[in-house]
Amino acid sequence: MEPKPALEPKPSPGPKPEPTFADIVARVKPSVVTIRTESGSSGSGFVIDSRKALIATNRHVIAGAQKITVCFHDGISPAESLQAGVKLIHATADIAIIQVKLGRKLPPALCIGKTDVMREGEDVFTIGSPGGIGRVLEQTVTKGIISSAQRKVENTTCFQIDAPVNPGNSG
């Protein structure tokens, strides 16, 4: 009987590398949607609750709309569109929560971060659908930095970024 060769020890796994910018974009992008209305206006939004089918966007994206269509780009099915209804509007903050009429599984919800831990100079990115009537550039990514972490605008504390944001990125 021949002796069995000794097993070589497996190297212990090191710390997991930090995700790259491209890794983060790939993880977030499926949860970003394009929103269209019957008037031809469009904007962007993102999933905030997959189970309840809730999408956050800006109020001005859907203002006055009788018909709201949400287009998903998550690879589950090719650019599938579903109807949505308004669930909540905060006019002063220009925020709207819409609810998709379920007919499919939604991509994962995105977490809304804490603004008190943001620092000037940190990298940020936007994913949206800039463009206008007839020509929307869906799922466009832009990158920038936080220019100001504590900018006062009309009694509201905001953060300012230098990433290019165009009409249609709203949401």
Please give the positions annotated as active site.
60, 94, 170
CB–CB of 138/73 below 8 Å? yes
Q: The tokens of 171 are what?
A: 């949401």
- Provide the H-helix boundaries in 42-112: 59-62
Q: The tokens of 56 are what?
A: 């956050």
Measured in degrees and rounded to the nearest 5, phi and psi for residue 103 equal -155, 5
Choose among 123, 137, 161: nearest CA to 42: 137
CB–CB of 127/28 below 8 Å? yes
